[in-house]
Structure 1
């Protein structure tokens, strides 16, 4: 049995599953001040004591780190950047937060300038005075040689509670994205560390010894203790859970759209022949362009509890949520109130929902029913406009799925999968506006929890081999090792595959769910004096994202 839990901004959903089949499901209100209690309540709502004894894995998706970034509730971070020559600090992200110091590696990982120990000592004194004890350390070519990042971290180890080094978070050379990634990783580290401590208490209370995972932005899982090191990977965990939950319902012979309508927001994702699209360089959140591998999703502030009002004689909806629908004793009219008045949703107190629409009708000089229809049309129009804008943006550039680059491919959806609490009530209208068939899967109200429950563990590895220098660099491990001049691309892939499998198992993957694929490989000749003196080889390997194998049959 598998327990899946999705800690959302409004509700915490849970499912108890056997293979791909949901046995029980539940929703409880999220208490942001006591996540441990939410998770315990969500567990007890679906799992009896005898079920808990038979659990094989527990998977959690959460909006904790995402909300911290969106709401700018980030911890103070000492951002230390070794930018070297050739790039102005003003052209780099977080310019106003960074501390620029000497020291840089060449593009081949050879030291070009050593860090200035006296400069670092002054910065150390400054951080100590300002009581900054969390550091983000970034060097321009640290993925080729991490020695400078490791040296700076060592200098600050007696004053830093924790430090994030960029080479441990991404093997990408993209310097600006690594700066943003490392900063965010450290800025949310305290939240993830606290969550991991609470989850340890949770497991102790359950009294079971089974793997506990957290969902990442790429739709894969990571063991909860491992997540302490890379909390930035759990940003946008919620939308990723939706995509993994929708995956069994999209057709593999046509392009699809998934629309997840929640209480506050609607998340939209695209699929090419049943395969989710990917952010090729990394996810972007609140203008932070990161190198975090993630599924491509767009969000809009439209949901079942979106605040509906009249401004200057015009009907307005969202993006804020001020509480539940008036039909559920909330403070203001919402989309849900309109659905109830139209008779589409048979929930809540219809008289209170009617009162909500009457408030708007008085200002618009319409009947409550007319206003309710306008509210539904407005909500669906906002969602459809966002879908069309997303399609236009995607089709204006190369299309990447989680497995490959689709050259010259245009995404042309022929079906829409609508999920979330309001899905059964809004799907038909969205389909009419898009002139596209729609379907609402069963148990769509807990699709995030089921998606998290069935997601595979994913890891990635970046390696660079230089046969002239006879060195091999493994970015994420921060190590270099010697190789022979006869070392080949096949040797690099074989070595990397062995290491990736070990990494995946350490992160909690089962043998039957590990499918290694070469995501990228490049070979360049090293030329000196008009002759080839070696080869520079770069390989990126990954465990193929997807759903765990169904062993229930």
Structure 2
């Protein structure tokens, strides 16, 4: 796949839409932000294209490669304004969505409740049919039951039907029959079958993924259809690609059919951009810290490979599909600051959102947010915020903090310091817990911050965690859009096994062959002409009798040669790393085999610059900054004017169009030849 023309990556956030344009003739990046139009996201994309034409003389027709990250699916789930659905289930399983998993989501919170299903029980229709656990037909399919469901769905004004039958992951024959019957009798109802979305055992999770896919489908389909029409109208003929939750990209046509795969596309693209930024400075093990307007997202990367998770939750629902393991904390720039009746400060998880936004935006907001505290504390420059395209008021932010200062009994500087400490504590708690679950020590990792506020809080967070190295990318505020450009065309495929490992030798070889055939066929139709592809293989395994399984990377050769000993050893090693114990003598069960195909796209050159002699950083100016609970004059530098090899000793502020970097006391920063800023703190 060759792209002689310019390449454009876009990521739509709640407040800003980020653009990363690779100028092929000049071999450099242009990045920018435009305000997000929440009601019409595609309008923000077109607005950005117009700016590119006006300010950089790049016409839409000059763009030969277009990648786009979207939050449409995620927002639809969170806001619960998706399609009106019904579901067909095996007779006797009508309460599947109500029972869920019985256990309490939060065991130590006695008043916690299970999430409200996305469709009510009255819209769940029982169908006479039954397959056994091996896929054999135990009860024949009754077509008349589907007719009853169709009549009820039409009477209720539903948009579509989800089909999830027992053991359909083993044999899809009954789901296919239901789909064909509905298509013939009720073409006005769209259909999603569980075996087409993610064919794994566990009926509740499989049903939930299928429901989520159908629930967001009309919104995503409508948005992407509108986007493609608008792009064509302005002369952009490139095939739009969409970023996926697992870190790859697919065509817009695929995303419209399987929109559930785009739920975490923005955070996943950011992690892929972070992988490239770390590679440029030779760092493989790091933790990402993406702080935007609503939340702080964190993820672990080992050896340059993001950790994949199948236990994430989206809008309170478990997501069984593999995604880049990103955990969110309600500690973003728009997070609301409150002080309760006991004088205890809280930051988030509620956010002021993009409209009205923090008080300093001047859009009618009255509740103080973290961005207001950053501005009052001197961390933000009102003249250069968001590239100077958004006017923000220090006086308005200062007035918003007055009531907080009174309730805390602190002065202005002390209040700002308290906000930072509470936000850092929230991130510290989440990262510490996440590291414990992963069976790693966070001190062994570097920290890679991005997003609008990530580089501001990176040093305080790193100090709390005992991290001594911070990698700040060249364009942290638009890293998600850059990550989209650096992603491969990719898709995971799964095959349920559910056998003791000792009995699975031949089954595993056959399953791998089947998955490879399906994956290569898909890639050939999805994006022909790629330079090459690779396979990543993993298995979900457990000790026989366990109620949960863990993800274990396996080598394809182990499967084709029947090397069960190596597979078993990999499982025991992974189990010991996660839970600090393993029993090599205990029998092991393999539940699923998963293969991900990645077709290599041509990557834009992500480094830049030539080596020049290192020199001390020239101080552009100084301004008062809250350091240790009081205002201290610190130097302020422009990152764009920093020469390679520039060295900075904290405390200092480094400004650029898309973010601000805080070099805390005790930290030293060095401008790397790749454009990355490396911050280090000597061991205590």
Normalising by structure 2, what TM-score?
0.68
2:446 corresponding residue in structure 1: 415
| Change over 3 Å in CA distance of 1:491–1:236 after alignment to 2 | closer
Partner of 2:77: 69
Distance 1:391 1:510, change over 3 A: farther
Matches within 5 A, 1:542-553: 542-544=596-598, 549-550=603-604
> What residue number does 2:492 align with?
460
Q: 1:342 maps to what in 2? A: 377
Look up the match of 2:404. Answer: 360
The residue matched to 2:427 in structure 1 has which SS?
Answer: helix
Distance 1:547 1:433 in 2: 39
Is the CA contact (8 Å cut-off) linking 1:11 and 1:27 kept in structure 2?
yes
CA 1:464/1:307 → structure 2, altered by over 3 Å: closer, same or farther?
A: closer
TM-score (norm 1): 0.83
Change (3 A) 1:314 1:51: same
CA distance in 1, matches of 2:598, 2:250: 14
Deviation at 1:213, TM superposition (A): 0.8
Once residues 592 and 455 of structure 2 are traced to their aligned partners in structure 1, the CA distance between those partners, rounded to angstroms, is 48
Match of 1:16 in 2: 21
Q: CA deviation at 1:310?
A: 2.3
User: Which structure 1 residue ranges, 5 or more long, are not aligned?
Assistant: 396-408, 466-486, 525-535
Supply the distance in 2 between the matched residues of 1:200 and 1:29 (Cα, whole angstroms): 20
Seen in structure 2, the aligned counterparts of structure 1 residues 361 and 296 have a Cα distance that, compared at 3 Å, is same
* Alignment equivalent of 2:174, drawn from 148, 159, 162: 148
Match of 1:5 among 5, 10, 31: 10
Distance change >3 Å, CA 548–CA 170, structure 1 → 2: farther
Which residue is 1:234 aligned to?
262
Distance in structure 1 (CA, Å) of the matches to 2:445 and 2:134? 47
Query: Cα deviation per residue 1:303-354 (whole Å; 9 max; x = unaligned)?
Result: 1122223221222222222233333324332212222222222224333332
Which residue in the other structure is 2:156 paired with?
Answer: 130
In structure 2, do the counterparts of structure 1 residues 391 and 61 end up closer, same or farther at CA, with 3 Å as the change threshold? same
How far apart are residue 133 of structure 1 and its match? Answer: 3.2
Task: Determine the structure 1 residue equivalent to 2:33.
Answer: 27
**8 Å Cα contact 1:489/1:537 also seen in 2:** no
Question: Where does structure 2 lack aligned partners over 5 or more consecutive residues?
Answer: 1-5, 102-116, 383-391, 498-505, 540-555, 563-589, 608-684
Count how many residue pairs are aligned between Structure 1 and Structure 2: 508
Is contact 1:28–1:38 with CA below 8 Å preserved after alignment?
yes
1:380 Cα shift? 1.4
Q: Are 2:275 and 1:256 equivalent residues in the alignment? A: no
Q: 1:41 aligns with which of 37, 47, 57?
A: 47
- Structure 1 distance, partners of 2:82, 2:30, is 36
Separation in 1, partners of 2:591, 2:50: 52
More moved, 68-77 vs 182-191: 68-77
CA contact 2:61–2:237 (8 Å) conserved in 1: no
> How far off its partner does 1:413 sit?
3.9
Q: How does 1:220-231 map to 2 (within 5 A)?
A: 220-231=248-259
**8 Å contact kept, 1:418–1:427:** yes
Map of 2:336 onto structure 1: 307
Deviates more, 1:210-219 or 1:318-327: 318-327
Greater mean deviation of Cα atoms: 141-150 or 20-29: 20-29
Task: State the distance in 2 between where 1:262 and 1:435 align.
Answer: 23
Aligned pairs (5 A) from 1:377-396: 377-395=421-439
Query: What residue in structure 2 maps to residue 324 of structure 1?
Result: 357
Q: Which moved more, 1:195-204 or 1:45-54?
A: 45-54
The Cα of 1:16 is off from its aligned counterpart by 0.4
1:263/1:303 contact within 8 Å kept: yes
SS at match of 2:175: helix
Cα distance 1:227–1:309, how it changes in 2: closer, same or farther (>3 A)?
same
SS of equivalent to 1:512: coil
What does the per-residue CA deviation read over 1:443-470, in whole Å, with 9 as the maximum and x for residues that have no partner? 10111111112211112334589xxxxx
Distance 1:89 1:203 in 2: 40
In the alignment, the residues of structure 2 paired with residue 308 and residue 122 of structure 1 have an alpha-carbon distance, to the nearest angstrom, of 53
Pick which of 207-216 and 50-59 moved more: 50-59
SS of residue matched to 1:12: strand
Other structure's SS at 1:143 match: coil
Q: State how far apart, in whole Å, the 1-side matches of 2:380 and 2:290 are.
A: 17
Cα separation, partners in 2 of 1:295 and 1:546, compared to 1, 3 Å: farther
* Matching residue of 2:416: 372
| Residue 435 of structure 1: aligned partner | 466
8 Å Cα contact 2:428/2:464 also seen in 1:
yes
SS of equivalent residue, structure 1 residue 188: helix
Instruction: Tell me the CA shift for residue 384 of structure 1.
Output: 1.3
Give the secondary-structure state (helix, strand or coil) at the position aligned to 1:225: helix
1:508 pairs with one of 514, 518, 527:
527
